[in-house]
Structures are given as structure tokens and as C-alpha cells.
A and B are shown apart, each in its own frame.
Chain A
Amino acid sequence: MNRTVPSKLLPYYSEAESAPKLGEALRESLELRVQHVREAKLSANVPSGAHEPRVAILFSGGLDCTILARLTHELLPLEQSVDLLNVAFENPRIHSKLGAGESPYELCPDRITGRSSHTELRAVCPNRTWRFVEINVPYTQTLAHRTRVMTLMHPHNTEMDLSISYALYFASKGNGSVTDANSASISYESPAHVLLSGLGADELFGGYQRHAVAFSRQGYPGLIEELELDFSRLGKRNLGRDDRVISDSGKEVRFPYLDEDFIALALRLPVASKCDFGLPQAVESASPVDYVELLEPGKRVLRALAWELGLKRVAMEKKRAIQFGSRTAKMETGKTKGTHVLS
């Protein structure tokens, strides 16, 4: 990992300057992962094969997955639609006091962010059909699939494993509804066999709160140490679990941010070209500032990339973990810890 610390003597590229290079590397990673999908099965059987989505995105509406959607757009033929799988759960702990006619799903943070990022994607790439697939999971469904999800994630066995696995399990099944041209909701099952996940971006580009904490306590050396720790355990612990849970749908999850060449580039960049916590986020004011300063430091290089790609609102998006965004965390009782081992 590049351990260079910013100084006046050693010029370095800012996040805005390194963003295009990173975008190019991500495009190359995606090129391998989104093209020529399932040609043995599709071209022969489906007359409308050109329009059928072959790639879907696990879509919380956050920064990492929306960048993947935006770049995928540049790599697939325009007539091929892309599914955005957005999952929301009814959580009895949180949704017990709903008003009349209030939907628990529309209150989920990821549903709200998902809709807003979908709107921005449509505005930036108007010629693409983006299908925003609302996957709503009633609590009864969650309970009905509990044993199955536990089997798939085994030998992982904690409360947090289950929360994350529920979200991935139901998202990858792709059973939900879409809104048609007349604003009517119609049921829909995504036929795409390749799913893209934004996993890895937080670890590579300092997206977690603890990165900010490490910098505030120990400056650049502390931040670099935290990023090195992330890299040393990248993947390892959880990717096997995610693979087992998602593959049960007969689909394959792919991780564009975990491409070997992309990781190598991310490691070569000095920390100030990725997430310069030494340059705090500027408050919007009357005096004009460089747009980069309006972006928060965590994952700032990806935020700059999103900004350059026209996704200005997404560039400002806050980080939120999947189990909290989709409301699968602590469904049974609010008191348990994520590390609690399930029986």
C-alpha cells in the first residue's frame, strides 16, 4: 500500500485528479463482468432477448452501487434494460405504529435513497430502461424463510450474519414489482442472472466512520494503518457467506470493486488521492469553492467520480450498512448485539 503522506514538498494528485483514472479502471473491471452473459441460453430461446435484462444491480441507491449502474450503462447495448434490485423489510420493532395507509417499505432508508438515485440515473441516462424493482418483504415471509437462510449462511451463525443474509437472499430472488408507464404497480421477477455488488469500495476508499475516527486520533499514519487493516482482511470473512446465500437463486454475484487490477490501482494511490480527511468538507456558502471541497472526505475519490459522471446528488450520499438501510437489523428484539450467536 502507498504510505505517502501529503506534504508541500511532494506534490500529489487530489481526489478530483485521480478520479478519471479510477473510473477507467472500474470500467475495465465492469467490461469483463457485464458483457456476454448467458449467451448459450438466451440467444437461442428468447426472441426479445435483446431487451431482456441480463445484469441486475444490488441497489440501495448508495454511492458505490449507483456508480456501478452508471458505468454499466456505457458498456451494454442501449436496448438492454438493467434491473435495480431494491429490497425493503417490514420490521415489527420499527414499524409497529404505522399510520393508516402508511407503507413500512416506503419508510425504509434504502427505499427512499433508491428511488432518488433511480430518478437521477434516469435523468443522466435517459435512453436506458432502468427497472427499479421494489422487493417488499413482509415479516411473515422473513420468518417463513428463516431456516432456509440459516442453512445457506452456515457455518456463519450470528444475528448480524442473518440480518445481512436476509437482505441478500430476498434481493437476489428478484421477486417484486415495478411501476409501469401508467404509474401502475405490476408484479415482476427479474430474469437477470448476473448481480453486481458494490462491496469493497468502503474498505478501499475509507468509507467507514472508523476511518474518520482513525484520522482524527492519529492523523494520516492512523488512517493508513486502518486502510491497511481493511485490505489485509478484505473479503475473507464474509464473501463465502454472501456467495452461498445469493447463489441459491441460481444467480451469480460479481464484485467489480474487488477486481485484482482495480485493487492494485487503489493500493498504489496515496491516501490523499482517495480520502483526504485533512481537507474537511466545506459548508456551502455564498463564496464559490471547488466542488471537491463540498464532498465529504470518506470515499471522496468515488464521490468526485460520481460528480463527474453527472450524479451530483449521489456524490453527496451518506454511507449506510445494508442491514440498517433495508431494516433487517434486530427484527426480533432491539436488545441483542449483532455478534449474538443464533440457536
Chain B
Amino acid sequence: MCGIFFSLCRQEHVLPDSGTEQLLKNRGPDSLGIQQRLLFTRYGEHETDAAPLYATFVSTVLALRGAQVTEQPLVDEKSGSMLCWNGEAWRLREDTVPGNDSQVVFQVLLEACKAAALMSSASAIDQIVSVLSSIRGPYAFVFYDATSHHLFFGRDCLGRRSLLKKRTSNSDLIISSVCDNATGEDWAEIEADGIYVLEVTARSRKHPLSIIHIPHRRSKDETGRPSFVGKFFFTESMLT
């Protein structure tokens, strides 16, 4: 098992409080990694926004697969993309994943980002969602695609791994596998009902974050949109 914490804030970097950090370490006693980034966004076509958003990625790891401990968060230095992965991808795009899965998932996600870089913003989302929908196995994750400035998070369609979201008054985004609620803070489960996507733009700094929900499909999809996560077990032939 592993632990995930992520925050995206306007004023400063926000780390887990000490109680929550300890609970995350209990889940992943083999390693603890912290990555902090300032996310600058494009203002207009040519202008860069002067004030950044403060992104904090924390991962703890319990090494169950592979010959070495794979530390997290996984970072692609070239693009700045990052992954916190708490899961077991038993299969990915019909292939069995031998050994450690977090590296494999990260590489496939990065390739999808690269392929999407030449396309529209909507196709970037489609590419990533298509990778996630091909995963068989439990997971909760946070992935930042630095190329398209999209942040993805969510849980597998059965909710086999935990992911919580803190209710904040200023609409900062705070996510964690587990929380120390000693101070009576208000956390809610992120529903295992799809993948959540947030485009980090200059607007995100001043306005409430607008998060897109891409639903898992448990039954035939009325809209007919293809490539949604979870479609795997519920093809038409199984449902009729």
C-alpha cells in the first residue's frame, strides 16, 4: 500500500499536518517523497502569469512489486510531469504488467501526454483517460501533465483505494489517502465515480477551481461517448 497527499494552493505550499503525515507513513513505511513546484500558467497567448500556484506532491511507498523499491512521487524532469500512484495495475492496455507497475503506468501516461501535445486540450484529456480506462486493478492517483497543464485525480471504478478531499473555504485543493481529523476538519471521500480533471490556468489563481468530472461507466452510456474509464467490464454484450 502507498499513501498520497496533494495540495494546490494560492498563498503558499501546504504540507500534511504531522498527524496526517504519520498516517501516510504507516501506509507506506518504505519511503517518503515530497515534491514542491510553482505552477506558472499562460496568461494569454504570449504572456505568462506573474503569480504562481503552489503545488505539493507527497507519496509514501510500501514496496510490494518489483526487484527494487520504486520511490515516489515519480518525476519527469524534462516535462515537469508528476505522478503519485497508489494501486496495482495488473494489466495495462491488455498487457500483464510484470514487476513494478508505478513506473510502467507513469511511462505510458507520459507517452500519452506527448502524443496529445500536438492536439487540442480536449484530446489531451481523452488520451489520459484512455490509458486509465485500460487499467485492470485497484488504484487511487494524482497525475500532473505539465505539458498541457492538466491535473488528474481519482479512484478505480470500484473504489478499492481510498482518496479524500478536504473542504476548504478558499477553494484550495487538498487531497489525501487518509486524514487526521483531530482538529475536526471536514474531509469527504472522493467518489469512485470517475476521473476528475482540472486545467491549471491563470484563472485558477483568482477564481474557484473548476473541476471536470469524467464518469466511469457501469452501464451502457447514454451519451454514446467512447473511451470512458470503466467501460471494460460492461460492454453491451455483457449487459443484455
Residue of B nearest to A255 (CB): B160
Kindly identify which residue among B19, B158, B188 contacts A236, using a CB–CB cutoff of 8 Å: B158
Kindly identify which residue among A41, A239, A250, A263 contacts B26, using a CB–CB cutoff of 8 Å: A250
Kindly identify which residue among A1, A3, A251, A259 contacts B1, using a CB–CB cutoff of 8 Å: A251
A241 and B30 alpha carbons, distance in the complex (Å): 23
On chain B, the number of residues with a Cβ less than 8 Å from chain A's Cβ atoms is 52
Are B27 and A40 in contact (CB-based, < 8 A)?
A: no
Q: A243-B161, A249-B26, A250-B29 are in contact. Are A154 and B62 (CB under 8 A)?
A: no
Are B69 and A41 in contact (CB-based, < 8 A)?
A: yes
Say yes or no: is A128 at the interface (Cβ < 8 Å to chain B). no
Are A252 and B64 in contact (CB-based, < 8 A)?
A: yes
Kindly identify which residue among B65, B67, B155, B193 contacts A240, using a CB–CB cutoff of 8 Å: B155
A31-39, A181-189, A287-295, A313-321 - interface stretch:
A31-39
A244 and B192 alpha carbons, distance in the complex (Å): 15
A154 and B3 alpha carbons, distance in the complex (Å): 16
Tell me the residues in window 194-216 of chain A with beta carbons closer than 8 Å to chain B beta carbons: 194
Say yes or no: is A74 at the interface (Cβ < 8 Å to chain B). no
Are A240 and B161 in contact (CB-based, < 8 A)?
A: yes
Contact with B along A243-264 (1 / 0, CB 8 A): 1101111111011001111011
List 9 additional contacts besides A32-B90, A240-B189; criterion CB under 8 Å: A41-B69, A155-B164, A235-B160, A239-B160, A243-B160, A243-B161, A258-B138, A259-B90, A267-B238
Are B62 and A152 in contact (CB-based, < 8 A)?
A: no
| Chain A residues close to B by CB (< 8 Å) | 1-3, 32-33, 36-41, 151-152, 154-155, 193-194, 231-232, 234-237, 239-241, 243-244, 246-252, 254-255, 258-261, 263-264, 267-268
Residue of A nearest to B191 (CB): A236
B7-15, B102-110, B176-184, B204-212 - interface stretch:
B176-184
Say yes or no: is B163 at the interface (Cβ < 8 Å to chain A). yes
Tell me the residues in window 215-240 of chain B with beta carbons closer than 8 Å to chain A beta carbons: 218-219, 232-233, 238-240
A255 and B99 alpha carbons, distance in the complex (Å): 19
Q: What are 23 A-B interface contacts by the 8 Å CB criterion? A: A2-B238, A32-B90, A37-B64, A40-B63, A40-B66, A40-B68, A151-B182, A152-B23, A155-B181, A155-B188, A194-B64, A234-B158, A235-B158, A239-B158, A240-B192, A244-B177, A248-B178, A255-B138, A258-B158, A260-B137, A261-B233, A264-B232, A264-B233
Q: A151-B181, A251-B1, A254-B88 are in contact. Are A193 and B192 (CB under 8 A)?
A: no
Are A250 and B27 in contact (CB-based, < 8 A)?
A: yes
Say yes or no: is B196 at the interface (Cβ < 8 Å to chain A). no
Are B159 and A236 in contact (CB-based, < 8 A)?
A: yes
B108 to chain A, nearest CB (A): 18
A37 and B232 alpha carbons, distance in the complex (Å): 26
Q: A155-B187, A244-B178, A250-B26 are in contact. Are A41 and B63 (CB under 8 A)?
A: yes
Are A38 and B64 in contact (CB-based, < 8 A)?
A: yes
Which of chain A's residues have a CB closer than 8 A to the CB of B1?
Answer: 243, 246-247, 250-252
Which of chain A's residues have a CB closer than 8 A to the CB of B23?
Answer: 151-152, 248
A-B residue pairs, 3 tightest by C-beta: A235-B158, A240-B162, A247-B1
A116 to chain B, nearest CB (A): 30
Kindly identify which residue among A155, A240, A260 contacts B159, using a CB–CB cutoff of 8 Å: A240
A53 and B31 alpha carbons, distance in the complex (Å): 23
Are B177 and A250 in contact (CB-based, < 8 A)?
A: no
Are B239 and A1 in contact (CB-based, < 8 A)?
A: yes
Which of chain B's residues have a CB closer than 8 A to the CB of A247?
Answer: 1, 3, 26-27, 62, 162, 177-178
